[in-house]
Structure 1
Amino acid sequence: MHLLYIDESGSAGDRQQKHFVLAGISIFERQSYWIASELDKIAERINPADPMSVEFHGSPIYGGKKFWRQFEKEQRFQVLKEVLGVFAQSNISNRIFVCVFNKEKISPNDPVELSFEQIASRFDHYLARLHKKNDTQRGLIIFDKSTYETTIQGLATDFRTIGHKWGVLRNLSEVPLFLDSKASRLIQLADLVAYSAFRKYEHGDDQFFSIIEERIDQVGGVKHGLCERL
């Protein structure tokens, strides 16, 4: 089974921000323990006395907020790069899916709904490609608990029964699950991937996204895992 951990960056309703990002990391189930363990090791170095209190979230680390206020900017940026590097160095079967919308270009449509439709259908197509190669796998989408939970659950049910613009989701084993990011290093990693993409598109800062950009799902140079409407 492939697990797609998804989180967003940028606020769908904030008029001061031009872009909304939804990003997911697709991880083969046997890889999830290794990645989480590597992230735990980083947390242990940061706070040996209480590593589980260390949470990897892009905006607080970048801005030096709350727990991260005690660290210099260079140290915080290094943490972001090291965590993203764990995914970049993981098994090649692990992929990234990213959807970036300029909110003005899609108005009055809801960026949350449109981006989830894109991510879910592209993940489903990825699993269908594996099936054609005799590697039949089911998928499960996992979100951070958020205000979008009701919207996402309803959309996912519709996609599996009524369909989306490009068909019906056929390779997912269940409707999306929602976890507290405090309990999941992989949700935290998805947060950092989404934030790194937001930094690139909103601020022209590519120092973080460049670390994991090659892991976007692609075939023959075509980036199936990237949706941009800029």
Structure 2
Amino acid sequence: MYLSYLDESGTPGDKTTKFFVLGGVTVFERQTHWLEREMDAIADRYQQQVGGQYLELHAAPMRNRKEGWEQFSPADRAQGAADVLRLLEGPQIKASVFAAVIEKSQMLRTADILPYCFEVLATKVDDFLAYKYQKRGEQARGILVLDRKQALEEANMQALHRTFKHLGHGNGRLRNFAEVPMFLDSKASRLIQLADSICYWIYRRYESQDDRGWQLIEPHFASLGNGRSGLHEVLDPATPAVLAGLPPQPYPFPPPLAPQPFREIVLPVAVAPARIAPGAVITV
């Protein structure tokens, strides 16, 4: 089973911004524990400095000094942001990145942006799983896991996926998903936070011409065979030339830190109250 954690950056209807990104990371089920453990270790470096306060590894608050990150210096916050993205480089973690990048001026209707992105990414993940079968004989299924937003949006996304799974979509029929999308609160999943960081730094490249995060993300876009990748773009014809000529960033990301020992957080063991009367006959 492959779990694809997705999030978004930008807002389809926001007229003050030019781009919208839906994207994230696909990870084999047995690797999620280790990836979460590595993210916990990054967060723990900072949580120890603020008395154990839980900090989400959300890229925008880390960069903009919000949600607890205002207590840290720019250098510390940049180090944390870079270390999260460098988890994609881990030799034992085979993570594949997917993203749909939309320059909103190139879509005829704002209401089509999110459904279009969802269709594109669902198709790409489906093709990724099919490619694994064709190349390695790996009979794997997938589930999309998204950050929980408003209930109405969740209902819309569920309906979209049912449509793609059972009726087909613009590019055919999805065949490799085990279930309709799942929705999680980002506080409960470091992997959703990783998807947030990936989305945010992809968005920064297009919206703000800041490619610091992109340089760490780009090598890890999924390979789908025949030269296809996990990246889908809908851009103004002039935009690729602008992106190709981005100047060096004045404040590059810091280099990796030396490996730190992981500090296991041990919670006190509570004694559960008795639930069954003494002498009861229990059949198993």
**Secondary structure of 1:96's partner?**
strand
Structure number with greater Rg is 2
Higher relative contact order (CA 8 A, sep 6+): 1
Give the letter aligned to residue 52 of structure 2: D
For residues 2 and 220 of structure 1, the distance between their equivalents in structure 2, rounded to whole angstroms, comes to 18
Residue aligning to 1:136:
139
Residue aligning to 1:185:
190
Q: Let me know the Cα RMSD of the aligned residues.
A: 1.5
Residue aligning to 2:220:
215
CA positional deviation for 1:220: 6.3
For residues 226 and 57 of structure 2, the distance between their equivalents in structure 1, rounded to whole angstroms, comes to 31
Give the letter aligned to residue 213 of structure 2: F
Trace 1:20-169 onto structure 2 (pairs within 5 A): 20-48=20-48, 49-50=51-52, 53-91=54-92, 93-108=94-109, 109-132=111-134, 133-147=136-150, 148-169=153-174
72-81 or 217-226: bigger deviation = 217-226
CA positional deviation for 1:12: 1.3
For residues 42 and 92 of structure 1, the distance between their equivalents in structure 2, rounded to whole angstroms, comes to 16
For residues 225 and 172 of structure 2, the distance between their equivalents in structure 1, rounded to whole angstroms, comes to 24
For residues 79 and 142 of structure 1, the distance between their equivalents in structure 2, rounded to whole angstroms, comes to 24
Q: Deviations over 1:19-58 (max 9, x none)?
A: 000012000011100000001011111112426x110111
CA positional deviation for 1:192: 0.3
Residue aligning to 2:14:
14
Question: What 5-or-longer segments of structure 1 have no aligned partner?
Answer: none
Give the letter aligned to residue 114 of structure 2: V
For residues 116 and 225 of structure 2, the distance between their equivalents in structure 1, rounded to whole angstroms, comes to 26
| Contact 1:128–1:171 (8 Å) recurs in 2 | yes
Give the letter aligned to residue 144 of structure 1: D
For residues 79 and 94 of structure 1, the distance between their equivalents in structure 2, rounded to whole angstroms, comes to 19
CA positional deviation for 1:92: 6.1
Q: Which structure shows the bigger proportion of residues in helix conformation? A: 1
**Secondary structure of 1:143's partner?**
strand
| Contact 2:131–2:224 (8 Å) recurs in 1 | no
For residues 123 and 70 of structure 2, the distance between their equivalents in structure 1, rounded to whole angstroms, comes to 39
Give the letter aligned to residue 79 of structure 2: Q
CA positional deviation for 1:73: 1.5
| Contact 1:216–1:223 (8 Å) recurs in 2 | no
For residues 189 and 198 of structure 1, the distance between their equivalents in structure 2, rounded to whole angstroms, comes to 14
**Secondary structure of 1:93's partner?**
coil
| Contact 1:35–1:90 (8 Å) recurs in 2 | no
> How many residue pairs are counted as aligned between the two chains?
229
CA positional deviation for 1:93: 3.3
183-192 or 72-81: bigger deviation = 72-81
TM-score (norm 1): 0.95
Q: Deviations over 1:81-130 (max 9, x none)?
A: 00111122254632000100011101315211100100000000010111
| Contact 1:26–1:94 (8 Å) recurs in 2 | yes
State the identity as a percent.
39
42-51 or 26-35: bigger deviation = 42-51
Q: Deviations over 1:203-228 (max 9, x none)?
A: 11000121121010125682420000
Question: What 5-or-longer segments of structure 2 have no aligned partner?
Answer: 236-284
115-124 or 68-77: bigger deviation = 68-77
| Contact 2:35–2:93 (8 Å) recurs in 1 | no
For residues 90 and 13 of structure 1, the distance between their equivalents in structure 2, rounded to whole angstroms, comes to 39
Give the letter aligned to residue 28 of structure 1: F
Residue aligning to 2:179:
174
